[in-house]
Amino acid sequence: MKGITTRLLAIGLVCTLGFTPACGDDHDDHDHGTDTVAQTDTTTPDDTATPDDTATPDDTATPDDTTEGPGNLAEVATAAGNFTTLLAAVEAAGLSGVVATQGPFTVLAPTDDAFAKLPEGTVEDLLKEENKDMLTAILTYHVINGTVSSEEVVAMTEAESLSGQKIAIEVVDGEVILNGSAKVTATDIEASNGVIHVIDTVLMPPTPEPSKCQSVCENQEAGCPEEFNDTMEDCVAKCEEGPASGMNLCVEEAQAWYDCIPADAAWECKTNDEGEVMALPADDVCADEFETFMQCVADAMPEPELGNIAEVATANGSFGTLLAAVEAAGLTDTLANGGPFTVLAPTDDAFAALPEGTVEDLLKEENKDTLVAILKYHLIDGAVESDTVVTLDEAATLQGEAVSIEVVDGKVVLNGSATVTTADVQASNGVIHIIDAVIVPPSIEL
């Protein structure tokens, strides 16, 4: 498990059984004063030699009566002799130095026999470099922060390990059992930086349930892979940060939608009204919450800046012939800067439906007046929205003649032949209603 600090890793350590402190040798307290003075030969009184200044009993060294305390966790475990596998694991995890110098810790120490009970090959696999994170997680699951005596242990129902996961504790027939399987066989083995309780079974950390974000991201990728553009790690990170990290608007609505979605909900690709593909929960799960969120976003977004009639028609892409005719008639500036106008706009297909050669003839310079008249017959002064159009029988055009209007089977029909296929396309200087046929003033014959 990545991210476990060196300190935590350090702890998944070792434990050991008894420790016998060293003691100094016993010495008796006999007086050795008579053995300390040596006398020289006498010559004359004037030449008498003084005794040597030899040590007196008060000056002799006292016996060493200091007693060493217990070693650190690593030393105690090594001295015990039955934690070889545990110590090898600590070494492989890079925790030996931590075990020796940090703490205090309470170590639940599996013996060599405890490790031997694991399935064949388990220990060997755990000691491999590529499994270092897993090994560290297991070791830190055997360590509790601080010194917890057996007296305290028996009063507990669980303890939090350095890995962050809980260890269950119960007393059965006078014996302490951990996680329902590991028996504490020896307790309160002191070390300079903690205490060791020996156990007969290796504790395995419970496999954590996947987070809701992990499940949601996995289901999104499975249900709509073409719209899953993040790595799984990035998706989970963004999800856990929540909408507040990436949004200034509608945070509460977004959070309410997310909270509503079950972790196990299936996802699928859906296309919205604008033709955009989105990954959304299947079966309309939490559809009302999503709609509330999207409406909030729509309400909060500033209105897009509209182009003029000429720009909107150009951007649409289906008015190439109309725009060429406007250019030939010298009306481009009028549509760009005049208005407001209502444009009854024939598509390219509408112009293509005219008799063969008609468009080419109209674009000739000698037919400019006719072309201008036809184009102005498609313009109404002012912006007339569709809800007004359906109330009219006719409308006066800029050409001077009126266009007849009727509603047939719910559709607006002009001059009995041109149907409005799309209404109320907004522009900065008017509105466009798209029609499927070119309308010609009654006074003009083509």
What does the pLDDT look like over 371-404, one tens digit per residue? 999 999 999 999 999 999 999 999 999 999 999 9
Domains 6-19+69-199 and 309-435 share a fold: yes
CB 141 within 8 A of CB 165: yes
Average pLDDT over residues 352-357: 94
Under DSSP, the state recorded for 74 is: H
Give the Cα separation of 218 and 213 in Å (integer): 8
Give the Cα separation of 353 and 278 in Å (integer): 38
**What is the model's pLDDT at position 273?**
77
152-188 confidence digits (pLDDT tens)? 999 999 999 998 899 999 999 999 999 999 999 999 9
418-439 confidence digits (pLDDT tens)? 999 999 999 999 999 999 999 9
Q: Could you tell me which CATH number the domain at 6-19+69-199 has?
A: 2.30.180.10
CB 279 within 8 A of CB 228: yes
User: Is residue 36 predicted with pLDDT exceeding 70?
Assistant: no
> For residue 311, what pLDDT band results from cuts at 50, 70 and 90?
very high
Strand partners, 189: 196
User: Is residue 302 predicted with pLDDT exceeding 90?
Assistant: no
**What is the model's pLDDT at position 256?**
92
Please say whether the dihedral angle defined by the alpha carbons of residues 181, 187, 189 and 194, taken in this order, is positive or negative: positive
Computed over every residue of the chain, the mean pLDDT equals: 84
Q: Give the count of beta carbons closer than 10 Å to the beta carbon of residue 3.
A: 6
Lowest-confidence region among 73-82, 128-137, 204-213, 416-425 = 204-213
Give the Cα separation of 199 and 185 in Å (integer): 6
**What is the model's pLDDT at position 305?**
86
Residue extents of the structural domains in the chain: 6-19+69-199, 212-300, 309-435
Please say whether the dihedral angle defined by the alpha carbons of residues 306, 309, 314 and 316, taken in this order, is positive or negative: positive
**What is the model's pLDDT at position 131?**
93
CB 381 within 8 A of CB 398: yes
Average pLDDT over residues 251-264: 91
Structure-token pair, residue 346: 């024939």
Q: Give the count of beta carbons closer than 10 Å to the beta carbon of residue 70.
A: 20
Q: Is the peptide bond before 70 cis (omega within 30 degrees of 0)?
A: no
For the chain, how far is it from start to end, CA to CA, in angstroms? 81
> For residue 67, what pLDDT band results from cuts at 50, 70 and 90?
low
Q: Is the peptide bond before 346 cis (omega within 30 degrees of 0)?
A: no
Give DSSP secondary structure letters for 153-209: HTT-SEEE-TTS-EEEEEEETTEEEETTTEEEEEEEEEETTEEEEEESS---PPPPP
User: Is residue 100 predicted with pLDDT exceeding 80?
Assistant: yes
Topology of domain 309-435, CATH: FAS1 domain (2.30.180)
**What is the model's pLDDT at position 395?**
96
User: Is residue 291 predicted with pLDDT exceeding 80?
Assistant: yes
The predicted model scores a pTM of 0.42
